[in-house]
């Protein structure tokens, strides 16, 4: 069997603690299932800046490019709040996304039944919620040029960012959304602001055209992104797959994640295009939550989002569908048993720390 | 007494029905309070396109520029979904905002006590909610150039929008936010994406500087806009005044409006800078809701947002503070009495149409 190469970037804050629990699962899978994972590890974010003066070193970028999949923890913290823009912790993540060409960000917003009451929404609105947000990740205002601050003199400066989308970028992300929809409820809702943005006009046209020529079996709806944000809060279960651009995806997936009451629990996958020869996709898996510096190092962080990200890795990078299903079921079982970290604590549940939560999931796996 | 000049633009969909109820209040105020309102009326949106081939005519633009205040209903509907981009219904609204230089958009998100249970959030999270979102309205990605679709050949097109903010634009909107905060709980939260946008970096710097030099008595917090969206859903009552850019303001104010359970009820004010000589500000008042074509013409639309927008007009354009307070109280009283339009209907309440609701409010006024 060929080795399965994983590159681990635990990052800052609670990233390393959460990653430790994934490492145990990897070791277990190698021993008990002969999974053949080979891991290497690097630095990203603030810790990389401290060590190398950059948010990720060239050597680690090479390793990320060479790996079958990257597991990413979290980056940032108050310690690095005033480092220069070019080397801020987020720059490491943005460079990984861009250089690995991870254009398709899959963000499931699911509500674990055991946690429906933890949502700020009324339970009946979120029980059974299962949305998949497909966010374009290598284009839009995140990367468009010019992107600069110009000194205009007279004490005036001008901040500029550029939102750019080309036809092919919209086509390929729409393709991912339609393909995913076919494995689910077969419904896609595309969101943009075509009423004020030209990139939104193009987005709408290309999604419509892609649908007509290749995916007319899928149900397609268009919604303005602001109305989409409203509808997520009003009636989230109306959605199956949502496809949207980089910035709207950032906003909308965070709102959707919060709705589930399971923010500390949500994973994400960022995928590239399949390689022409091998069919392999470059991929990075990361929790939706951030580095949570306030609780870092205390052993209380919830490792579920990181573990669920690894489950997505099993599914999308290694086609280990059964193992992915089993790992996700293990998470749900542990929650059903009333084992909880502090962030999802509830009356009558048993509160545990990061390590205990990780081990409880491993025991169920 | 000098006349108070109002220019009414009812627009499309439910706009005209809602505006009719405001017209009755104006007539009443002239008769009973000698308020001296002089009204004129024009077309905007789809109806203006049908009449003039433009989303607003030059003659009506002149009237809007000359008036003390503009009352705006709503624009758009399926009938105009495929008119050219330059003359789409929204273009009328965007031109009014830009040419009248209405840079400060005030969007209160309040939860009427009688409606707390209508929110999709748990009642305890929204009861007593009172946020004021200050959205920059004449800059950012809405108006920056280049804004175009380029044909690249090979079947490829490129959609471009440009996000631009200059120091003075951020300074003046921050000033409005700090001034407003002083009349409330004295707290401002500024939202941007400084971790990915240069305009966000500048926004953050200028707000910080404006605070330090002129408003250090106000409590200031900075939040990333995606985290802000989350926090709005998680714990909306943590906010007093939120200040943010045009696009984030569009998204965040819609989410906030939906949270209150009172979407059909929320007003907004769009204000220009005080005139150097007269101190007067140009101003436009409009409901946050849209034209709701599905219920237009049926006499069932909720006129409260339009009436509450007129209350904001009394307050901000004419300094008629008592009258504004009284009108807002009349709305709350009618709700307390259990009088409801269909959109906010609840068990045990009495369902009424647009006209009855308008008249009930007038009777309480
Ligand atoms: C950390 C930051 C650069 C990032 C983004 O804005 O994309 C984060 O918010 C996310 O959603 O992954
Ligand atoms: C109608 C549209 C152009 C407008 C906007 O995007 O600003 C609307 O959504 C709003 O929030 O007032």
The nearest alpha carbon in chain B to A75 belongs to B195
- The residues of B assigned a catalytic role are 142, 193, 226, 250, 254
Q: Which residues pair with A131 in a beta bridge?
A: A109
A256 lies within 8 A of chain B by CB: no
* B299 burial via Cβ count (<10 Å: 0-12, 13-18, 19+): middle
- Whether residue B1 has pLDDT greater than 80: no
Task: Report whether A292 belongs to an annotated binding site.
Answer: yes
* CB contact B281 to A (< 8 Å): no
Q: Does A318 touch chain B (CB under 8 A)?
A: no
Q: Give me the percent of chain A exceeding a pLDDT of 70.
A: 100
List the single residue in B with minimal CA-CA distance to A224: B251
Q: How far is CA A108 from the centre of its chain?
A: 8
Comparing CB atoms, the residue among B149, B162, B203 nearest residue A160 is: B162
So what's the pLDDT on residue A318?
97
Residues whose CB falls within 8 Å of the CB of residue A295, separated by 6 or more in sequence, listed in order: A14, A301
DSSP secondary structure string for all residues of A160-220: EEEEEEEHHHHHHHHHHHHHHHHTTTSEEEEEE-TTT-HHHHHHHHHHHHHHHHH-TTSEE
Q: Report yes or no: B280 and B320 within 8 Å, Cβ to Cβ.
A: no
Please answer yes or no on whether A160 and B122 come within 8 Å at the CB atom: no
Residue position matching structure tokens 């007539």: B27
HSE at residue A43, side-chain half, CA atoms within 13 A, is 15
Question: Catalytic site residue A215?
Answer: no
pLDDT at position A278 over 80: yes
Is residue B362 within 8 A of residue B28, CB to CB? The reply is yes
The span from the CA of A244 to the CA of A264, in Å, is 23
Query: Cα(A89) to centroid of ligand 1, in Å?
Result: 11
Task: Determine which residue's CA is closest to atom 5 belonging to ligand 2.
Answer: B250
Residues A332/A335/A341/A343 CA torsion (nearest 10 deg) = 80
- Inform me whether the C-beta atom of residue A200 falls under 8 Å from chain B C-beta atoms: yes
- Give the separation between CA B123 and CA A108, rounded to whole angstroms: 27
Say if residues A267 and A305 touch (Cβ distance below 8 Å): yes
Mean pLDDT on B97-119: 93
To test ligand 2's pocket by mutation, which of B250, B270, B291 has the most ligand atoms within 8 angstroms of CB? B250
**Cα distance between residue A352 and residue B178, in whole Å:** 43
Residue B14 vs residues B17, B32, B43, B75: alpha-carbon distances, Å: 5, 28, 14, 9
How confident is the model over B191-246, as pLDDT tens digits? 999 999 999 999 999 999 999 999 999 999 999 999 999 999 999 999 999 999 99
The pLDDT of residue B187 is 98
Tell me if B60 is assigned to a ligand binding site. Answer: no
In the beta sheet, which residues pair with residue A189? A221, A242
User: Which residues in chain B are contacts of A257 at CB distance < 8 A?
Assistant: 230
Q: Tell me whether residue B248 is exposed, middle or buried, using C-beta atoms within 10 angstroms of its C-beta: 0 to 12, 13 to 18, 19 or more.
A: buried
Strands A37-41 and A4-11: parallel
Sequence-ordered list of residues with C-beta below 8 angstroms from that of A73, at least 6 positions apart, any chain = A9, A10, A11, A12, A13, A14, A15, A16, A18, A19, A286, A287, A291, A306
Helix H segments across chain A?
A: 15-33, 46-52, 58-66, 89-99, 123-126, 167-182, 198-214, 225-234, 246-259, 304-318, 321-336, 354-364
Q: For residues B2-21, give the mean pLDDT.
A: 97
- Multiple choice CATH, B1-103+272-365, 3.10.20.740, 3.30.530.20, 3.40.718.10, 3.20.20.70: 3.40.718.10
Cβ-Cβ contacts under 8 Å, B85 against chain A: 198, 201
Q: How far apart are CA B306 and CA B298, in angstroms?
A: 17
Interface test mutation site (partner A, options B124, B159, B171, B197, max chain A beta carbons within 10 A): B159
Ligand-binding annotation for B78, yes or no, is yes
The rounded distance, in Å, linking the Cα atoms of A210 and A286 is 29
Torsion-angle region of residue B239: left (phi > 0), alpha (psi -120 to 50) or beta?
beta
- Taking CA–CA distances from A80, the nearest residue in chain B reads B195
Protein residue closest via CA to atom 2 of ligand 2: B90
Token match 């008769």: residue?
A: B31
Residue B141 DSSP symbol: G
The average pLDDT across B75-95 equals 95
Q: Is A193 marked active-site?
A: yes
Is A57 known as a binding-site position? no
Candidate from A255-264, B102-111, B195-204 with smallest mean pLDDT: A255-264
Rounded Cα distance between A183 and A130, Å, is 13
Nearest CA to ligand 2 atom 6: B250
Per-residue buried b or exposed e for B224-245, using 16+ beta carbons within 10 Å of the residue's own CB: bbbebbbbbbbebeebbbbbbb
Compute the distance between CA of residue B136 and CA of residue B92 in angstroms, rounded to an integer.
Answer: 18
- What local confidence, expressed as pLDDT, does residue A1 receive? 63
B10 Ramachandran zone, left/alpha/beta (phi>0; psi -120 to 50): alpha
Asked whether A101 and A232 are in contact (CB, 8 A), the reply is no
Q: Which of A120, A152, A160 sits opposite B233 (nearest CB)?
A: A120
Residues A198, B251: C-beta atoms closer than 8 Å: no
- Which pTM was predicted? 0.96
Cα–Cα distance for residue pair A306/A73, rounded to 1 Å = 7
Pocket test for ligand 2, best of B11, B93, B143, B245 (most atoms within 8 A of CB): B93
What does the pLDDT average to over B308-326? 97
**CATH 3.40.718.10 domain position(s) in chain A:** 1-103+272-365, 105-270
* Whether pLDDT at B92 is above 80: yes
Identify the pLDDT of residue B167: 98
Q: What is the DSSP string of B190-245?
A: EEE-TTT-HHHHHHHHHHHHHHHHH-TTSEEEEEEHHHHHHHHHH-GGG-SEEEE-
How far A232 CA sits from the closest chain B CA (Å)? 9
Mean pLDDT of chain A: 96
Q: Are residues B75 and B46 in contact, defined by beta-carbon separation less than 8 angstroms?
A: yes
**Quick one: pLDDT at residue A117?**
85
For strands A187-192 and A241-244, give the pairing. Answer: parallel
Decide: B305 and B288 in contact? Cβ < 8 Å.
yes
Q: Which two tokens stand for residue B350?
A: 């009495």
Are A268 and A309 in contact by the 8 Å Cβ rule? The answer is: yes
Is B226 in CB contact (< 8 Å) with chain A?
Answer: yes
Measured from the CB, is residue B250 less than 6 Å from ligand 2? yes
Residue written as token pair 């995806």:
A249
| Distance from residue B254's CA to the centre of ligand 2 (Å) | 10
Name chain B contacts of A235, Cβ cutoff 8 Å.
120
| Phi/psi of residue B139, nearest 5 degrees | -130, -160
Q: How far is CA A87 from CA A71, A84, A91, B196, B237, in A?
A: 21, 6, 6, 12, 35
Shortest Cα distance, chain B CAs vs residue A92, angstroms: 12
The partner residue sitting opposite B202, judged by closest CB among A144, A155, A159, is: A159
| Pick from A146-150, B109-113, B114-118, B307-311: least confident | B114-118
Q: How far is CA A170 from CA A279, A303, B114, B127, B163, in A?
A: 21, 34, 45, 42, 20
pLDDT at A353 over 80: yes
pLDDT of residue A266: 93
In whole angstroms, what separates CA A171 from the centre of its chain? 21
Q: For A176-212, how does the pLDDT look when each residue is reduced to its tens digit (9 = 90+)?
A: 999 999 999 999 999 999 999 999 999 999 999 999 9
Question: Is-contact B67 B272, C-beta < 8 A?
Answer: no
Residues A223-259: pLDDT tens digits?
A: 999 999 999 999 999 999 999 999 999 999 999 999 9
pLDDT in tens, B177-191: 999 999 999 999 999
Residues of chain B with CATH 3.40.718.10: 1-103+272-365, 111-265
Bridge partners of B334?
A: none
Grade residue A222 by pLDDT with cuts at 50, 70 and 90. very high
Which residue in A81, A89, A120 has the most chain B C-beta atoms within 10 A of its own C-beta, making it the best mutation to test that interface?
A120
pLDDT at A130 over 80: yes
Q: Which of A193, A215, A245, A282 is catalytic?
A: A193
CATH number, span B111-265: 3.40.718.10
Could you tell me if B256 and B109 are in contact, meaning their C-beta atoms sit under 8 angstroms apart? yes
Q: How confident is the model at residue B117 (pLDDT cuts 50, 70, 90)?
A: confident
| DSSP type of residue A14 | T
Query: Would the CB atoms of B164 and A158 count as touching at under 8 Å?
Result: yes
Helices (H) and strands (E) in chain A, counts: 12, 14
Q: Which chain B residues in 38-77 lie under 8 Å from chain A, judged by CB atoms?
A: 76
Q: Are B310 and B35 in contact (CB under 8 A)?
A: no
CATH of A105-270, one of 3.90.79.10, 3.40.718.10, 2.70.98.40, 3.40.50.720: 3.40.718.10
Residue A104, helix vs strand vs coil: strand
Instruction: Determine contact, residues A357/A303, Cβ cutoff 8 Å.
Output: yes
pLDDT digits 0-9 by tens, B265-309:
999 999 999 999 998 999 999 999 899 999 999 999 999 999 999
Q: Which has the higher per-residue pLDDT, B118 or B126?
A: B126
**pLDDT of res. A263:** 77
Check if the beta carbon of residue A121 is closer than 8 Å to that of residue B255. no
Q: What DSSP element (H or E) covers B23?
A: helix B15-33
The model's confidence at residue A131, banded by pLDDT at 50, 70 and 90, is very high
**pLDDT at A216 exceeding the cut of 70:** yes
Q: Angle at Cα A356 formed by Cα A352 and Cα A359, nearest 5°?
A: 145
Closest residue by CA, ligand 1 atom 5:
A250
- A227 interfacial to chain B (CB closer than 8 Å): yes
B189 to chain A nearest CA, in Å?
17
Give me chain B's average pLDDT, please. 96
Which residues on chain A are in Cβ contact (under 8 Å) with B159? 163-166, 197-203
Check if A139 contacts B (Cβ < 8 Å): no
């Amino acid at each position: 069997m060929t080795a399965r190469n994983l590159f681990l970037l635990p990052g800052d804050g609670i990233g390393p603690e959460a990653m430790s629990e994934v490492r145990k699962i990897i070791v277990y899978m190698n021993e008990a299932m002969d999974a053949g994972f080979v891991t290497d590890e690097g630095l990203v974010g603030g810790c990389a800046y401290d060590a190398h003066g950059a948010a990720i070193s060239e050597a680690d970028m090479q390793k990320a490019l060479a790996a079958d999949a990257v597991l990413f923890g979290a980056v940032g913290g108050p310690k690095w709040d005033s480092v220069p823009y070019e080397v801020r912790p987020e720059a490491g993540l943005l460079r990984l996304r861009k250089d690995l060409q991870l254009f398709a960000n899959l963000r499931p917003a699911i509500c674990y039944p055991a946690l429906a009451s933890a949502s700020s929404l009324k339970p009946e609105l979120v029980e059974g919620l299962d949305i998949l947000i497909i966010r374009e990740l290598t284009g839009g205002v995140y990367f468009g040029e010019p992107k600069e601050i110009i000194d205009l003199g007279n004490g005036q400066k001008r901040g500029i960012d550029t939102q750019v989308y080309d036809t092919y970028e919209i086509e390929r992300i729409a393709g991912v959304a339609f393909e995913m929809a076919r494995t689910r409820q077969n419904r896609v809702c595309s969101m943009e602001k075509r009423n004020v943005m030209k990139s939104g006009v193009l987005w709408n046209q290309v999604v419509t055209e892609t649908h007509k020529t290749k995916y007319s079996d899928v149900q397609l709806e268009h919604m303005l992104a602001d109305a989409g944000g409203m509808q997520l809060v009003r009636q989230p279960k109306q959605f199956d797959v949502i496809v949207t651009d980089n910035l709207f995806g950032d906003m909308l997936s965070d709102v959707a994640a919060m709705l589930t009451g399971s923010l500390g629990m949500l994973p994400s996958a960022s995928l590239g295009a399949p390689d022409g020869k091998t069919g392999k996709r470059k991929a990075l898996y990361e929790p939706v939550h951030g580095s949570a510096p306030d609780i870092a190092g205390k052993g209380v962080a919830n490792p579920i989002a990181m573990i669920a990200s690894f489950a997505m890795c099993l599914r999308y990078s290694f086609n280990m569908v059964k193992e992915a299903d089993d790992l996700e079921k293990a998470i749900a079982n542990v929650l059903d048993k009333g084992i909880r970290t502090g962030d999802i604590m509830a009356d009558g549940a048993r509160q545990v720390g990061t390590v205990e939560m990780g081990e409880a999931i491993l025991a169920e796996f």
